[in-house]
Copies of this chain bind each other. A is one copy, B any other.
Amino acid sequence: MHTPIRTSAPGSMMLLGEHAVLHGHHALVCALNRRIHVMLSPRSDREIHITSSLGRLELTLDTIEPKEPLAFVLGAVAQRKGDLKSGFDLTVQSEFTHKAGLGSSAAVTVATTAALGLWLDEKVEEESVLRASVAIIQDIQGLGSGADAAASVYGGILLYRAKPLKVMKLGAVHPVTLVYSGSKKPTAEVVRLVEAAHAKQPATYDRIYELMGHSAEEAAAAIERGDWQSVGGLLNINQGLMDAIGVCDGKLAGIVYALRKDPGILGAKISGSGLGDCVIGLGRARNEAFSYDQLPTAMASEGLVIGEQQPV
């Protein structure tokens, strides 16, 4: 038996520029302290046995194709199908809550892609893992900026642009408060709704996207000079821009305004595509009477990790 190959990658969360990043603008994304761990043990036959909290699956190298509930793992394997000479056992362990996405699909794609590359004796480089992961994600979802995959690969807070690819890692993290709204509309569905609205007011939406991208750049500059107050202000401004493109609702707005009343919060906005999912507050909420459902999470500097490590 070979030594098992171990990798892990963090989940992620959007700070600024979601939606705009799909139109070529900058976004600000960060890695979280919730990770997905992958362990790959080579087999001598052509069997692939996958064990994860989402299910247990047995198949062979010859029948592999991306399918729910393990679409991203299977997508990563399918991408390397032609290079694989034998099967393997793959164990996926997640530190994620089931309540919110928080980039778990991107994290598992990145961790699996890296594990397969290591097994194939390749030099596993950050940019190549990112590009391969984004291709898998876009293939399965039909869309995706790759910002979440970039955070999973590089960790920390990133100023990210998809085309041409730009990843600028910022050297600091900050406490955050993450509140789940109680429901989530699938990202692809929200993107379709926004695109339909975009088609009705193209010039206005394009200007808003530009402004979101511009804000992400301004926030990156503020982070570099340690000015988190300005980052909070930019979060507030961008909450309005998210509202302007139609992805806010009464529930989300209620959480945003409640968070902003907390003395520990510098700014608050929807994180992600909107119409549900999470609201992020920059800073640690101090108000214990805060009645919404906080997800215990934090930004993390660590991205993709290769080698021995123990899941939490």
Contacts and interface: CB of A to CB of B under 8 A. Distances in A.
A215 interface: yes
Contact of A204 (B201, B214, B243, B254): B214
A234 B201 contact: yes
Q: How many copies does the complex hold?
A: 2
A236 interface: yes
Given A207-B211, A250-B254, A250-B257, A240 B237 contact: no
Given A207-B207, A215-B204, A244 B250 contact: no
A249 to B, nearest CB: 6
Contact of A211 (B208, B236, B238, B248): B208
Interface string A218-238: 100000000000100110111
A240 B215 CA distance: 15
Contacts of A210: 207
20 contacts: A200-B233, A204-B214, A207-B207, A207-B214, A208-B237, A237-B245, A238-B244, A240-B240, A240-B242, A240-B243, A240-B244, A240-B248, A241-B244, A243-B243, A244-B244, A250-B253, A250-B258, A253-B253, A253-B254, A253-B257
A239 interface: yes
Nearest to A242: B240
Q: For the side of the interface on A, what is the size category? A: 20 to 34
B236 A246 contact: yes
A162 to B, nearest CB: 22
Interface in A178-228: 197, 200-201, 203-204, 207-208, 210-211, 214-215, 218
A238 B208 CA distance: 11
A222 B71 CA distance: 45
Nearest to A211: B207
Given A207-B214, A237-B245, 9 more contacts: A200-B230, A203-B218, A204-B214, A204-B234, A207-B211, A240-B244, A240-B245, A244-B244, A254-B254
A143 to B, nearest CB: 23
Contacts of A214: 203-204, 207
Max count, chain B CB within 10 A of own CB: residue among A214, A230, A243, A245: A243
A238 B200 CA distance: 15
A218 B233 contact: no
A133 to B, nearest CB: 32
A215 B201 CA distance: 10
B201 A237 contact: yes
A207 B249 CA distance: 24
Contacts of A230: 200-201
Contacts of A200: 230, 233
A20 to B, nearest CB: 13
Nearest 10 CB-CB pairings of A with B:
A240-B244, A240-B243, A250-B257, A253-B253, A237-B244, A240-B240, A243-B243, A207-B211, A241-B244, A204-B237
